[in-house]
Structure 1
Amino acid sequence: MTWITKEKKGELALTGLQGGLNLLQTWTETNAQTKKEVAQNNKIDDKRLNEILKINEEYTTKINNLLYDTELGCKFKSTEDIFIMIIEIIMLDLEYDYHEIINNFTRTIDTEEFIQAHQKAVKEREVRLETEYQEKLNRYETKMKEYEDKMKEQQSKSFFKRILSEEIKKPRKPIRRE
């Protein structure tokens, strides 16, 4: 039995794909900027080189986490392996050499059922986020009521007692995740 529904797998697959593509785009932009600097100056200073190496290490770590630490909770281990292989092909822009694999992947997910399942998963996520937000909002409102009561109590004290009393912090209103 898997811990994740088919709908969630679709959402997770899309999220992973989008995340990987965003990482690759950022990495590509950074590399293009670096090449431009090297071409203009014909050299790169130590500080900039260390920055580049740090960025490279960060992105390498993220890509390795994406590719090799991904656990989708699939029924079959080979499903995860295939998905990760496809992500890697896309990230490395190797579709031309792996067109049979990409065509198979596209044929598999390019169905009305997949699209409907994805739309359902998006709606389920929205409901979950709204529920999560409402719970946080309820806790905030309770804390806000306590804050207001403490402020009223403090206002009824004399001037010197107010100065010497501890500061009352106003609760922060939660922000809904998107």
Structure 2
Amino acid sequence: MAETERSARERSFGRRLAHLGAAWRRQIDHDLRDFGLTEATWRPILYLGQLPPPVRQSDLARALGIEAPSLARLLDVLERRDLIVRTRDKEDRRSNLVRLSPGGQRIEHQVRQTADSVSARLLRDVSTGELQACYAIFDRIESALGTPRDAGTTPVAESVAPDTVAVLPCG
């Protein structure tokens, strides 16, 4: 590959990756619209279903990549809809612990199935080898950024990919 072509690809790589991640989330949003869920509501539900409960509210905010005050308002909405339960952390009274309610668990199952269906549909023509190559590239980029994958959030990233776009096709 000529140096100028490589430079052009490097310049557009992050933008294309971000665009694909946003498009991926829009597909999930579209498929979940009949459940009255938006990206703002299905993402925390999905993460809460994947992370070991209960989850500290601050850890959930970090995993979602949003600020704590924004998450607090969102959790207020989910709590009013009886999808989550928040309790004070006995080890740190300044922290809240969050878990899915029984109704939230049912919704999480539907969200996970929908996200899996979208992933299967979008990756239908991507071989296992191509997918493994993408993961290797993502791992190197994360290493260069100094942000290694968090073992606690890996299942979410691998099954959904909208935030880390860990399973988006490369090339």
Task: Give TM-score scaled by structure 1 length.
Answer: 0.31
Looking at secondary structure, tell me which structure has more helix per residue.
Answer: 1
The structure that has the greater radius of gyration is: 1
Task: Give TM-score scaled by structure 2 length.
Answer: 0.32
